[in-house]
Amino acid sequence: MQRLIEGLHHFQSQVFGSQRELFERLAQGQAPETLFITCADSRIDPCLLTQSAPGDLFILRNAGNLVPPYGAVRGGEAATIEFAIAGLGVKDIIVCGHSHCGAMKGLLDPPPATAFPALSDWLSHAEATRRIMHEKYADRTGAEKLNVAIQENVLAQLENLRTHPVVASALAQDKLRLHGWVYKIETGEVFVYDPATRQFALAPTPSGMPAHEERERVSVEV
């Protein structure tokens, strides 16, 4: 806690003053264009990863970056998604998984339900991912199997997003785009899913910068 308190005082004395106009403007309301859905894992920071400023991202975090299908639970996920689209008018939704995901490890090798009853229940919303791994990738083991599960889970959650009426309506009106990302903690790389090729590829570079040619399939390590 001491380090957090020191950070708080540094923010108030050194950072806030230099960005006072930004925070005064944010106090009047928010207008983010992107809903960023990612894992609660402490090793991923959406704003740091995308170099976004306060007010740029509307963020939803939970264990495993899961999106329960509409009506499956009456929880914060559905409410957050609904408000992001209908209330804030976000134009893009990113589901971002990450390497070494503990939730996906728990999905592949479930912990004792008696010790983690809430977690066991929560991971049931990744049942599609578990079944895909069991039926399609039974020959994979270790780190490779985890890597594939992380990617397949991102795709499964994108499908779950489509079950939400507010998402389906916005997609039908071409007012919303969905994106699947996987962040590789140890290299800082981000792989983006391309529906046309059904592959994850290194995130495209800004115009004028050298582009990476390497492409990664769903079943290949990212």
Cα 137 from Cα 206, distance rounded (Å): 35
pLDDT score of 136 more than 90: yes
pLDDT of residue 107: 97
Instruction: Give me the amino acid identity at 109.
Output: D
- Domains in the chain (CATH in brackets) are 19-101+154-217 (3.40.1050.10)
- Give the tens place of pLDDT for each residue, 109-125: 999 999 999 999 999 99
Q: Judge if pTM exceeds 0.85.
A: yes
Q: List the one residue out of 37, 46, 42, 57 whose CA is nearest residue 160.
A: 37
- Give the tens place of pLDDT for each residue, 150-200: 999 999 999 999 999 999 999 999 999 999 999 999 999 999 999 999 999
